Amino acid sequence: MHYESLAYYRGGGERALALGDRGERPTRLLVFDRRIDEERVHHYGLLVDLSRAEVEEIFSRDGSRPSYAGLTPRVLAELRAHLADAATWTTLHPSCRTLLGWLVEAGFRSATPTYDGGWLARRLFERLAEPERPVEMSAVDRLLWPLVDLVAGMEAPSAARPGEWEPWITATK
């Protein structure tokens, strides 16, 4: 299984802002407040009756681009004048270690952090010269499956460095 581990965001990505990409009115702003050690994210969603370009203009008056750091009191006050809707919610993001414990508690015989066999398969396939790449799925499976099976069975560290995803988990009944 794969999941979104918050450790990826440690060291600078704990708080972030994302703007909707539609370019028309209204524009959605999402603010992420990632509480990594608590394994949760507080989300703040704002819908403003402005285009994306107009929102970017509001941020640029302070010499900033849309970002969490650029979300100053002045920017918030200007956006508030155009607020159409707002919502908050919290999502839970268990770490690898938490999920491993839960899976064992749930009755799985084992739960192990493992490497991503799909990543390996893609990299190997891409390294083959075009004429050497199998075109039939059965031939792809024959080529890659033994390696993917081996890699997915290798135990990985249960923690990751900032900017890296925590490992996949393999659980067996």
SS3 7: helix
For all residues of the chain together, what is the average pLDDT?
Answer: 90
- The residue that leads in pLDDT, 160 or 77, is 77
What is the strand order of the sheet 40-48 is part of? Answer: 15-19, 27-35, 40-48, 83-92
Residue 153 DSSP one-character state? T
Label the pairing between strands 40-48 and 27-35. antiparallel
pLDDT of residue 107: 95
Residues 6+ apart with CB under 8 A from 154: 114, 115
More confident residue, 142 or 119: 142
pLDDT at 108: 93
Looking from the CA of 140 toward its CB, the CA atoms found within 13 Å total: 10
- Residue ranges per domain, the chain? 6-92, 96-172
pLDDT in tens, 69-120: 999 999 999 999 999 999 999 999 999 999 999 999 999 998 999 887 777 7
Q: Is the pTM of this model over 0.85?
A: no
- The pLDDT assigned to 41 comes to 97
Whether residue 23 is predicted with pLDDT greater than 70 in this model: the reply is: no
Residue 148 scores a pLDDT above 80: no
- For residues 61-74, give the mean pLDDT: 91
Which among 167, 116, 163 is positioned nearest to 8, based on CA atoms? 163
DSSP per-residue codes, 89-131: EEEE---HHHHHHHHHHTT-SEEEEE--HHHHHHHHHHHS-GG
Average pLDDT over residues 134-163: 84
Q: pLDDT at residue 145 above 90?
A: no
**Helices 137-152 and 117-127, packing angle to 10 deg:** 130
Helix (H/G/I), strand (E/B), else coil: 83: strand
